[in-house]
Chains A and B, each alone.
Chain A
């Protein structure tokens, strides 16, 4: 009995001493952090994609609490995360629409010509810097997968020399947008279904020389969607662009595009 008692007492005494030391340390040495940082970090998805412009979710959370960043920059978290964060921080949330990446090119190997046989490292920027790229069209997708390599969600794959985004996996972080040497990836509303898959603004004859499916700026899509007043399309040189503020709804214009570069939901077309 005494043995048990001594043991208990000794351990308790040692424990008490240790507790005292820790208490003192906590009182005089501890570093206080804003508890909201933890809460905000928990509300963020934790993908560490960097799409918000900060080095990971923790960094963004710290900036949010410090007030140097505004909520709403987290695309993967979407509305749920943003409103949650706004609640924690006590500010009004802005509704954000889910955006996904769109590769504005449909010139596969069987549609767009290649002017040379590229031999070198498998990277778009490197290929683009080698004699201007092996693709005949200098605006088109090179297909060496720089976007696929940076995608934190593995939502991009290369098929037949062309990058294709899986809409369901894409979180709209925008990393691919900045890494593409041809700048042909755009973040578009996930709800939009009709897209112009071309990025070449030069005149028709030059486009048709290098690509079988390049936009020549014939404006038939505009005509078929209710004319200029309807405002479903904008034009940059000889290139049509969907006005995503006011996207066309009538899918019949897709079949009427003479160049076949307007597609309906291309994200799903390849059977992903």
Chain B
């Protein structure tokens, strides 16, 4: 029989007994909020398609997360919002006219294979949204690289108006004699009047979100700076298309600010983050500028490859102990 308890039963825990207000879900929410401008742009440019795609991806991610946790007999982790974020990021990396079922397959792959198979948030070695995108690019190559002219309104003269390709595909094709330095082109790239994935259109919207994250200290400047800086420098040295065009077109801004900065799959120290960002930029530009390369865009692959190198970077960039 249990003896009678005397006195209050207090909480017992090891110090510290104070805690900052930040939680995993508040961090995820920060990123979601930061993605809102970009998402609004996507809706503005691509209309209902953007809403449908994002809805499908997020729903697929959430359902997969819930089912996986159920099957694993572990606590439900939908509440940490990481699945929502994965879904939204995936959607922002898809072309607007992708059939919805493919988007759903991508969402299931992202959460089921790339995240929960490893034990859930915190253990996945690759960014789930990007791994899913790479998987879809290889499985559904056609639909993943078909762009309709829904938004690609050429205001810059000289580019073939009939082409519905993205600026990067245009670069890859080798548009000889095209005037890349027109202000109108840069303006289009900056404000989003170009074709591309949902989240790749407006650099401005993405930068607003990135500023928000930096101000909230949700991310640090290291990876975006190193990533974009390397792309810029590489383009300058390469001397083909103007560096700004490279930076603003495709997924560089989205990747550098929102995908490469994913905590789980990027290095933990500042030094490691700089190396990581440089590596991302370098691989991106290698893939973009290789004349024989199979892909016009290399951001997602570059981040995935750097994800794979992250453990090694971490290994060799451990902080130096104070006093040593």
A98 interfacial contact with B, CB 8 Å: no
Asked if A212 contacts B1 (CB within 8 A), the reply is yes
B 170-198 to A, binary, CB cutoff 8 A, 1 in contact else 0: 00000000000000000000000000000
With a cutoff of 8 Å between Cβ atoms, the chain A residues found around residue B10 in the complex are: 116-117
A70 interfacial contact with B, CB 8 Å: no
A264 to B9, CA, bound (A): 34
- For residue A243, give the distance in angstroms from its CB to the closest CB of chain B: 29
With a cutoff of 8 Å between Cβ atoms, the chain A residues found around residue B5 in the complex are: 113
Asked if B3 contacts A211 (CB within 8 A), the reply is yes
Asked if A210 contacts B9 (CB within 8 A), the reply is no
A94 interfacial contact with B, CB 8 Å: no
A contact residues, total (Cβ < 8 Å)? 22
B contact residues, total (Cβ < 8 Å)? 11
A227 to B6, CA, bound (A): 37
Asked if B11 contacts A111 (CB within 8 A), the reply is no
Asked if A112 contacts B9 (CB within 8 A), the reply is no
- For residue B287, give the distance in angstroms from its CB to the closest CB of chain A: 44
List A residues 116-173 near B (Cβ within 8 Å): 116-120, 126, 129-131, 134, 136
A103 to B3, CA, bound (A): 22
Asked if B9 contacts A114 (CB within 8 A), the reply is yes
**Which residue from B3, B6, B11, B14 sits with its C-beta under 8 Å from A208?**
B3
- For residue B10, give the distance in angstroms from its CB to the closest CB of chain A: 5
With a cutoff of 8 Å between Cβ atoms, the chain B residues found around residue A131 in the complex are: 12
List A residues 179-227 near B (Cβ within 8 Å): 208-212
**Which residue from B3, B9, B12 sits with its C-beta under 8 Å from A212?**
B3
Asked if A115 contacts B3 (CB within 8 A), the reply is no
B 267-282 to A, binary, CB cutoff 8 A, 1 in contact else 0: 0000000000000000
Asked if B3 contacts A209 (CB within 8 A), the reply is yes
A110 interfacial contact with B, CB 8 Å: yes
Asked if A120 contacts B14 (CB within 8 A), the reply is yes
A116 to B2, CA, bound (A): 15
- For residue A227, give the distance in angstroms from its CB to the closest CB of chain B: 30
Asked if B2 contacts A130 (CB within 8 A), the reply is no
- For residue A128, give the distance in angstroms from its CB to the closest CB of chain B: 11
In addition to A111-B1, A113-B2, A115-B12, 11 A-B residue pairs with Cβ atoms within 8 Å of each other are A111-B2, A113-B3, A116-B11, A117-B12, A119-B13, A120-B13, A129-B14, A130-B12, A130-B14, A211-B3, A212-B3
Binding site for B on A (CB under 8 A): 110-120, 126, 129-131, 134, 136, 208-212
Q: Across the A-B interface, give the 9 residue pairs with the lowest CB-CB distance, nearest first.
A: A116-B12, A119-B13, A212-B1, A131-B12, A118-B12, A130-B14, A120-B13, A116-B10, A120-B14
Binding site for A on B (CB under 8 A): 1-3, 5-6, 9-14
Question: Would you mind naming 24 contact pairs between A and B with Cβ atoms under 8 Å apart?
Answer: A111-B1, A111-B2, A112-B2, A113-B3, A113-B5, A116-B10, A116-B12, A117-B12, A118-B12, A119-B11, A119-B13, A120-B13, A120-B14, A126-B14, A130-B14, A131-B12, A134-B12, A136-B3, A208-B3, A210-B3, A211-B3, A212-B1, A212-B2, A212-B3
